[in-house]
């Protein structure tokens, strides 16, 4: 996939956890199209995973070092610190990829009705409000670039009940609504905000959902295309949205799920869990 309009642009990628991350698939394709990608991580464990990945990307600017910064999206002060460092090194921002979500493990099984107040707050803060907080800091840098594109990641559980997705589904619904409101607020500055609702993919985050293997198998049998998607499918759509093809697309949630979302009953997962 080649989009010459992307060459020379700058992107900040938030949420790569390992080589299976959807954000990594988008970052790789953006890089192939000439985008200079910067990355953030949270914690030493994640740093050890993503540093070798980032260093494996050929430098677009001769002599430059890969840009990787620690950032806690749950802290406004830390977000501001990270964006100040980014501005110092890059000046402007064209693309923001938001692929951050979190819920306590006990809230991803059993009944949603049993979600604790603190578990609900934490899931909403990290999974939904973080997009608002990041775009608030990104806005002036995108304005310097003459506009920009933000892409975030969602899932079918935002609109339909998916067993054991629970509070994360509610957080993703809030995320998709936030996309629409942010797109309206930032549109006059030519900043576009969109979400990708991806089908089930084996990622680090998905591994925390009880019975995910059953969800994956059921989706493969139920979708119109009778196959699951890959992380690269998300990468292609994300790159499209950031390029010339997405120039007039904003406030949208686009699906890449082999057609799962068109089915009245969705998929029917096995009640057994792994």
Residue 215's pLDDT is what?
Answer: 60
Token pair for residue 168?
Answer: 């994360």
pLDDT at residue 222, rounded to an integer: 81
What pLDDT does 113 receive? 98
DSSP tally for the chain: helices H, then strands E? 8, 7
pLDDT of residue 269: 46
Contacts 24+ apart (CB under 8 A), 116-120: 119/167, 120/167, 120/170
The sheet with strand 253-256 has its strands ordered as 68-70, 36-41, 10-14, 95-98, 148-155, 191-198, 253-256
- What b/e sequence results for 159-187 when a residue is b if at least 16 CB atoms lie within 10 Å of its CB, and e otherwise? beebbbbbbbbbbbebbbebbbebbeebe
Give kind and range of the element (H or E) at residue 237. helix 231-242
What pLDDT sits at residue 274? 27
pLDDT at 2: 83
Low-confidence ranges of the chain (pLDDT < 50): 62, 268-274
pLDDT confidence of residue 268: 46
Q: Between the CA atoms of 122, 128, 133 and 137, what dihedral angle is there, to the nearest 10 degrees? A: 140
Residue position matching structure tokens 């603190």: 118
- Is the pTM higher than 0.75? The answer reads yes
The CATH number of 4-262 is 3.40.50.720
Active site residues: 155, 165
H or E stretch at 96 = strand 95-98
């Amino acid at each position: 996939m080649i989009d010459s309009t992307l060459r020379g642009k700058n992107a900040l990628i938030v949420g790569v956890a390992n080589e299976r991350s959807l954000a990594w698939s988008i970052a790789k394709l953006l890089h192939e199209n000439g985008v200079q990608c910067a990355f953030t991580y949270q914690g030493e464990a994640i740093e050890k995973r993503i540093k070798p990945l980032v260093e494996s990307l050929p430098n677009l600017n001769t002599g430059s070092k890969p840009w990787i910064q620690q950032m806690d999206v749950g802290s406004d002060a830390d977000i501001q610190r990270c964006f100040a460092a980014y501005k110092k090194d890059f000046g402007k921002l064209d693309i923001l990829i938001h692929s951050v979500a979190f819920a306590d493990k006990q809230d991803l099984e059993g009944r949603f009705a049993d979600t604790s107040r603190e578990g609900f707050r934490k899931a909403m803060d990290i999974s939904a409000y973080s997009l608002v907080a990041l775009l608030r800091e990104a806005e002036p840098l995108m304005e310097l670039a003459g506009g920009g594109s933000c892409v975030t990641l969602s899932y079918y559980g935002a609109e339909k009940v998916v067993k054991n997705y629970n509070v994360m589904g509610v957080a993703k619904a809030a995320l998709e609504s936030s996309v629409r409101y942010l797109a309206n607020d930032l549109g006059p500055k030519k900043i576009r905000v969109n979400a990708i609702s991806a089908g089930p993919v084996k990622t680090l985050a998905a591994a925390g959902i009880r019975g995910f293997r059953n969800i994956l198998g059921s989706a493969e049998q139920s979708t119109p295309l009778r196959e699951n998607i890959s992380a690269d499918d998300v990468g292609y759509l994300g790159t499209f949205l950031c390029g010339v093809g997405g120039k007039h697309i904003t406030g949208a949630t686009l699906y890449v799920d082999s057609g799962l979302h068109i089915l009245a009953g969705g998929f029917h997962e096995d009640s057994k869990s792994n």
